[in-house]
A and B are shown apart, each in its own frame.
Chain A
Amino acid sequence: QSVLTQPPSASGTPGQRVSISCSGGSSNIETNTVNWYQQFPGTAPKLLIYSNNQRPSGVPDRFSGSKSGTTASLAISGLQSEDEADYYCAAWDDSLNGWVFGGGTKLTVL
């Protein structure tokens, strides 16, 4: 059972906008920044969004992040087939004094 809660799956058609939520609490998302990772099967996670809404160099601006209260969201606009992957949110938890991850969301491009 993950500290951060994500929907297990999400889907969309090419060109659509898809949003993935990450729900936490006052000890993590509400007070600390949220990062998002993209993971393809058999590969290591890749940093997609950090500090709620910052994109590392090389990440397309189709990917965006936001946060409100105890919930963070990852949005993907102009969905492409190569976006089909697992997505994880992460944040520091003040109560646990460590990083916590969401359970992951499997995105399917129909």
Chain B
Amino acid sequence: QLQLQESGPGLVKPSETLSLTCTVSGGSISSSSYLWGWIRQPPGKGLEWIGSISYSGNTYYSPSLKSRVTISVDTSKNQFSLRLSSVTAADTAVYYCARAFDDTLTGFYVFDYWGQGSLVTVSS
């Protein structure tokens, strides 16, 4: 059974950089059939896609966050990571990592497996 687990600091100061890592177990991150992504959810609000990465390092970022986001992959550790710079209180959210599979019938990717989420609070 595939599992994803987020890890990283739960508290980040304003203007600093938020860093999270997602460790994948029960399956390999090195498959061309999947993308790996980050989605966040501010307290009491809806879901927002941050960005995604392939095992080979191709990245796709949300236009609204692109200037501050970096997603990277480490296939040797079966992990991928998120860095979000210059954070403010508006970046306080539960951050989820997730896998997207390639629905070959339609050509679109679908997020199917999600981590349990990691609450990151931006505060001094």
Which residues of A does B touch, CB under 8 Å?
A: 2, 32-33, 35, 37, 43-47, 50-51, 54, 56, 88, 90, 92, 96-104
Contact = CB atoms under 8 A, between A and B. Distances in A.
Interface string B23-64: 000000000000001000000001111010000000011110
Given A51-B105, A97-B63, A98-B60, A56 B112 contact: yes
A96 B115 CA distance: 25
Given A33-B106, A98-B60, A47 B49 contact: no
Given A32-B108, A50-B110, A51-B110, A98 B61 contact: yes
A110 B108 CA distance: 36
A33 to B, nearest CB: 5
Interface residues on B, range: 20 to 34
Contacts of B48: 101
7 contacts: A45-B111, A51-B103, A51-B105, A51-B106, A92-B108, A97-B60, A102-B46
Nearest to B100: A99
B115 to A, nearest CB: 7
Given A51-B103, A88-B47, A45 B114 contact: yes
Contact of B46 (A33, A50, A88): A88
Contacts, number: 62
Contacts of B108: 32-33, 51, 92
B116 interface: yes
A45 B63 CA distance: 23
A2 B46 contact: yes
B117 A101 contact: no
Given A51-B105, A96-B63, A98-B60, A35 B116 contact: no
Nearest to A88: B47
Contacts of A103: 46
Given A51-B108, A98-B62, 13 more contacts: A33-B108, A33-B110, A35-B110, A37-B47, A44-B115, A45-B111, A50-B110, A56-B112, A92-B109, A96-B63, A99-B37, A99-B111, A103-B46
